[in-house]
Amino acid sequence: MPPIIPAAPNAMRHLPALAAVLLLAACATAPKPSGPVELRILAFNDFHGHLETPAGGVPVPDPARPGQLVTVPAGGSPYLATWLDTLRAGARHSITVSAGDLIGASPLLSALFHDEPTIRAMNQMGLDLNAVGNHEFDEGRAELLRMQAGGCHPVDGCRFDTRFEGARFRFLAANVVDAASGETLFPAYAVREYEGIKVAFIGMTLKGTPSIVTPAGVAGLRFDDEVDTVNRLVPRLRAEGIEAIVVLLHEGGKQRGRYDQCEGISGPIVDIVKRLDRAVDLVISGHTHQAYTCLIDGRPVSSARQYGQVVSEIDLRLDRASRDVAAVRLNNVVVRTDVAPKADQLALIAQAKAQVAPLAERVVGRIAAPITRQLSPGGDAALGSLVADAQLQATRGAGAQIAFANGGGLRADLASQDGVLRYVQLFTVQPFGNRLITLTLSGAQIVALLESQWQGERFNPLQVSAGFRYAWHAGRPPGRRIDPAEVTLDGVPLRLDGRYRVTVNDFLASGGDGFTVLREGREPVAGLLDIEALEAHVQAQDTLRPPALGRIERRED
């Protein structure tokens, strides 16, 4: 809400009597404000603790070559803060919001301190609201509540600052419900008023959050359907006299165009928007790390890529008579780095870098060439194979014969400009700190696990360790794509009734990513953290090279 500045106490008695009368008369006859109220919403999503400008950039039109694109550096909190200030400067009323995943899966610079630096960075740049995303639950409910309320970490204490004040902005979680109390974990919505017109911001994450985070992190919580949640809230908001409704949703879609276009939009966001109550005026989305400005079923929908590389500049025209949104303008702005960075953000980063440097810069090995997440036609990737191999070697003592790694747990390619690998580069690949679990599965359960890589139309391939190979058949129906005779370990077909020791991380072991077969594993033995296993594997080799592809084969029949 815009600040209200009160008059000085008893200021009237210091005016000459005639002046006071004239002032009162002027106030009595002053015309009421007319015309629409303009509100600027600045939105981003999936920041993931990227305080520094991330590698790569954003493709934008090349002014020197019409019709061509050029990639420009973008993002980083010092530049994001500058752009937010610049975009606010042109608006009488503004609010800054996030559609989730501010924290979690963060670089070491933020993650080492449990993302406290990111919360402070957001406080400094004036974030107002954040709809929780799935990664906000990476360290569990209690830790997320600490992010809002402040206080030192219960185990590590206050490692970044002597005290942690928590978020000055408000977390929202309309569809995250405590199963015991029936209350939402955070408020379902926030209301802001602009020249007498109330605007509601409903915030929530995708209903599938429990399947993509460690189950322990969401124990005791219920994640309701996104559309049902919003549509139940609409009558309550209208009863409060609110007609202007904005949804901040950590779920999204994909499109083929540039960051400021909407070509072939697809994904969950399309169905969600179509089913929302028509009272919803605007949807600000996230989760898919895409950028788009769309009109879906007549409703404006935005998303702002990832890591603070893009800001959605959204102008709402509010009608005084109806108190509703009369018009919406969407404009995605690239957070270029050719502007002056904010000094307070630079100081925050310098503080974090000084504290993290001894760990981050520790040399762990050498690398001959980049090892990437690029999938082969079959579904294996060099980086996934490397990580699975590391996990297998680290758990041989527990009897491990096979290791599986989830592709979603690998957040970046492994590379080095000077050929020297440092700890920070390994952490960037695997930032979650998952513990390895070795358990016993039958050959039939392993085949069922491989079949569960297809969840609807989505293929989510597990990465596999050396010595394990299989083929899958694209033309066959779900549940029958794997021929057990083509699943081999060290060249020998798996016996369906055989017993095999299999290593996965604790996220997968608890059924994460929909791989519920792994919950049936017996005789679990806990091992190293995944990052520890990767470091040990790198250190055991003179020079790291990309593993050969071909452990997984796609066949068209």
pLDDT in tens, 396-433: 999 999 999 999 999 999 999 999 999 999 999 999 99
Pairing outcome for strands 282-285 and 197-205: unpaired
| Element holding 78 (H helix, E strand) | helix 77-89
Same fold for the pair 32-344 and 363-555? no
What DSSP letter does each residue of 190-249 carry, written as one string? EEEEETTEEEEEEEEE-TTGGGTS-GGGGTTEEE--HHHHHHHHHHHHHHTT--EEEEEE
Task: Sheet with 499-505: list strands edge to edge.
Answer: 462-464, 402-406, 499-505, 435-442, 522-529
Rounded Cα distance between 391 and 20, Å, is: 81
Rounded Cα distance between 31 and 320, Å, is: 15
| Element holding 20 (H helix, E strand) | helix 17-29
CA 466 to chain centre: 31
Q: Are 525 and 349 in contact (CB under 8 A)?
A: no
| Element holding 444 (H helix, E strand) | helix 443-451
Predicted pLDDT at 15: 34
Predicted pLDDT at 2: 33
Structure token digits, residue 153: 């970490």
CATH number of 363-555, picked from 3.90.1150.10, 3.90.79.10, 3.90.780.10, 3.40.50.300: 3.90.780.10
Rounded Cα distance between 133 and 99, Å, is: 7
Predicted pLDDT at 31: 64
Q: Are 506 and 435 in contact (CB under 8 A)?
A: yes
Predicted pLDDT at 184: 98
Among 384, 551, 554, 375, which Cα is nearest to 463's? Answer: 384
Structure token digits, residue 336: 């270029």
Rounded Cα distance between 163 and 518, Å, is: 41
3-state secondary structure of 49: coil
Where do the domains of the chain lie? 32-344, 363-555
CA 53 to chain centre: 16
Q: Are 244 and 197 in contact (CB under 8 A)?
A: yes
Predicted pLDDT at 34: 79
Rounded Cα distance between 468 and 487, Å, is: 8
Residues of the chain with pLDDT below 70 are: 1-31
Integer angstrom CA distances of residue 61 from 79, 164, 308: 20, 42, 19
Structural domain 32-344, CATH architecture: 4-Layer Sandwich (3.60)
Rounded Cα distance between 329 and 315, Å, is: 5
- What is residue 13's DSSP assignment? G
**Rounded percentage of the chain residues whose pLDDT exceeds 90:** 92
* CA angle (139, 525, 385) in 5-degree steps: 75
Rounded Cα distance between 286 and 302, Å, is: 8
Write the pLDDT tens digit of every residue in 317-350.
999 999 999 999 999 999 999 999 999 999 999 9
Predicted pLDDT at 21: 38
Q: Are 247 and 170 in contact (CB under 8 A)?
A: no
- Phi, psi dihedral angles at 136 (to 5 degrees): -65, -20
Q: What is the dihedral of CA 446, 448, 449, 451, to 10 degrees?
A: 130
Integer angstrom CA distances of residue 113 from 120, 157, 342, 387: 11, 10, 22, 25
3-class secondary structure for 384-428?
A: HHHHHHHHHHHCHHHCCCEEEEEHHHCCCCECCCCCEEEHHHHHH
